[in-house]
Amino acid sequence: MVQIDAHGDMSFEYEGSHHNHACVMRRVLEMGLPTLPVGIRAICREETADSRDLGSRYPQGCGVMLLSPTQLSGACNFNHFSWRDFI
């Protein structure tokens, strides 16, 4: 599943619900589906750790918030990933 979002949506529960917009990617990972998050700019340390524990395989910690598209192209090393890693 490709997630195009600014937020991780990895909350265990939000406003008393496990089925909320802030929890959807946690539920997806709990189902064991492969994910490819794109554009995440806001995720807390706990949710980042949880995403790894649940099997998320996307590169974490790439500093991309204030980069131009040209700079962004060299910001993260994705060479160790192939499209098969996300299927």
Q: Mean pLDDT across the stretch 53-80?
A: 59
72: domain range?
A: 2-86
CA distances from 27 to 21, 31, 54, 59 (A): 11, 6, 10, 20
pTM of this prediction? 0.64
> Bridge partners of 36?
2
Of the two residues 80 and 21, the one the predictor is more confident about is 21
- For 9-53, write each residue's pLDDT tens digit: 999 999 999 999 999 999 999 999 888 888 888 888 888 888 888
Please give the tally of structural domains in the chain: 1
The predicted structure's pLDDT at residue 17? 95
